[in-house]
Amino acid sequence: MRLEHRQLRAFLLIAELGSVGRAAKELHLTQPALSRLIREFERSCGVVLFERYPLGMRLTEAGQSLVPFARSILHDIARAEETLGVLSGAGKGVVRVGAIAGVARQILPNAVKSLLDRNLDIQVYLLEGSGGELASALADGSIDIAIAHDDLADEEVSKVRGTRYFDCCSVVCSTEHPLAKKAQCSLDDVLGAQWVLSRPEATPRKLLQELVHKAGRTMPSATVETTSPSAVAAFVRRTHLLGWLPRSLYADEEEAGQICALDVPQLALLRRYFIYRRRRGVLSPAAAAFLNDFKMVAEE
């Protein structure tokens, strides 16, 4: 059996789109030509990869088993081509990084600066997203490295050892807020105030809710709800709304004297960040260099 690049790409595209017709359009092939290609691929594999229906196609058990390997093979081919292009002088080293908002804002710029200071000719693509989004992107090869909390539950990804980066989540407010003048705030002080909160399904909201319930209290109602962590910092800075954020998301505003953390021990949480990579495959030289610099910058 031989696995060919063209066949694997066609196989994955049909698997994703569920239709030979739509996949043929993407590949600029006729539908009969793509159907023949897939039948030849199935004969080569010795198994049926798709169940055929009048309105589409669905992966068989064998087809589902092949998907992660096909993605891994195509990912490695693409990265190998990029690496050879760099070595031949025909391209730049490319690093595809996924990160949650706080890391993307506070640490990644320093890691990239470290690479640029060494005159490395690289190009960085950044995907900012939740843990689940990053796990999916890492598994399908859209990114090489992900930085997130310890919640990437996916069999296709694994942790990179030796990372020790922590971030403290706290109740925060504008330095003009009346509570900013108190040395320590009670739960009554903060839970009775107005808040800007992430959406109920978002991890920060869930974590805050756990802390509030652990303290035997009820969550405050949200005056403003948002899907954007950066928007929480903006509302806190410009209004008298309280928020709950990791320090990495308000460090610049704190340094500028615009936002401060309130001392509310019951609602403070230390979170650890981890670096993840795909379990299968090889990191390109550019991605390996980035990973090394990121680890140094994060630990500092």
| Predicted pLDDT of residue 54 | 85
Spans in the chain with pLDDT lower than 50:
none
| Predicted pLDDT of residue 183 | 87
Tens digit of pLDDT for each residue in 53-101?
Answer: 888 889 999 999 888 888 878 877 877 777 776 666 655 678 888 988 8
Task: Give the phi and the psi of residue 138 in degrees, each rounded to 5.
Answer: -70, -45
Taking the C-alpha atoms of residue 30 and residue 100, their distance in angstroms, rounded to an integer, is 41
| Predicted pLDDT of residue 88 | 66
pTM for the full predicted model: 0.65
CB atoms inside a 10 Å sphere around CB 246: 26
Angle, CA 232 vertex, CA 228 and CA 238 arms, to 5°: 135
CB atoms inside a 10 Å sphere around CB 118: 10
Taking the C-alpha atoms of residue 232 and residue 225, their distance in angstroms, rounded to an integer, is 9
Task: Give the phi and the psi of residue 264 in degrees, each rounded to 5.
Answer: -130, 90
251 near 107, Cβ under 8 Å?
A: no
| Predicted pLDDT of residue 195 | 97
Domains of the chain: 5-66 (1.10.10.10), 70-164+273-299 (3.40.190.10), 166-270 (3.40.190.290)
